[in-house]
Structure 1
């Protein structure tokens, strides 16, 4: 999808994809990663997700990447925090209270941008991308992360005749094709859910990069 699509959604306030609560999968299963306090965690296509606040509350350093500066500005404004803002060649960074949001294109990230990252939480990145971009996303993510890094990934499965994404239908077979060769992939849990009024099956996956 074009960057303009997401910029317009934020400019117009059409952000139904934003969750007003911390993700339940994250709260219930993050501890299974057994990360030490002060670990660095990456949240791709983060928006203004409260998941980042929750992770920071555990003592982690959180790095997000997001196209829209509006999202980053709203994230910190809603916490009544004035972030440090640094403009660079590829990204403008907003940082405060152990959360840094890099505003720019995910595909412009290089490994040094994520130096020290040991875990990733993807609730809204993979499912926000059309199929022709999902393979590129998975491959680029792998290039950025070290072996042993852990990924918790949320994806959903639904009848595509009833809904056109985003969020996109990403069934188990596709998740397996995208990630299974990259390390040890497993299904953690699944639950019935709702995608813009359409019944869906929401799954949480765990990948340990090889």
Structure 2
């Protein structure tokens, strides 16, 4: 993952990937993870997503990580939250009540940083990674969470040759390859979204769909 690419996108306000509304898949499918309110949810590459506010409103704690200081500062400012900012292991830690966002590189996190997390919400991380980085990302999650956590994973597929990512196309076979050893994988949605995304049509994409996966830890 090119860190400078993301710094530049935020600096130039080229953030078409940012959703102004809470993700409908999160609202519809999150209850299927069936874990207790008050638990902490890990949100990798969280940006300034309003999904974190929704999780907080449902009674969960949220721990995000985001490389762009602009995104982190904007999140707190736009939502009128007053953060306490400290430094831990070289990462800025922005916290407010039940919310913590680490401002820095996901790959610099340690297991201690995320020790209290009980689930993962990945709407924007896996599809932000180029193919060579995705195995490293999954291995990092395995290091951070030796015991796999229930995960809601959102991906997309399209003819990769028709557009340079991010977002990148991630086929179901790749999801199986990365996660099947540790998870029972259930596809709970496969939806054609091309008509809803003219910006991708304008870039020459001829087919596009979104997938939502429920990843439940394999029984030991």
Normalised by the size of structure 2, how large is the TM-score?
0.91
After superposition, the C-alpha distances for 1:97-127 in whole angstroms (9 at most, x for unaligned) are 4211101111111111111211100000000
Could you tell me which residue of structure 2 aligns to residue 140 of structure 1? Answer: 140
- 5 Å-filtered alignment, 1:33-182, equals 33-147=33-147, 149-182=149-182
Deviation at 1:146, TM superposition (A): 4.5
**8 A Cα contact 1:152 1:205, kept in partner:** yes
Deviates more, 1:83-92 or 1:151-160: 83-92
**8 A Cα contact 1:9 1:15, kept in partner:** yes
Unaligned runs of 5+ in 2: none
Aligned equivalents of 1:191 and 1:120: distance in 2? 22
Deviation at 1:57, TM superposition (A): 0.5
Deviates more, 1:47-56 or 1:147-156: 147-156
Residue 205 (structure 1) aligned with residue 213 (structure 2): yes
Deviates more, 1:80-89 or 1:53-62: 80-89
Deviation at 1:148, TM superposition (A): 5.2
The alignment's C-alpha RMSD in Å is 1.3
Aligned equivalents of 1:174 and 1:107: distance in 2? 21
Counterpart secondary structure, 1:161: helix
Normalised by the size of structure 1, how large is the TM-score?
0.95
Deviates more, 1:198-207 or 1:13-22: 198-207
Deviation at 1:45, TM superposition (A): 0.3
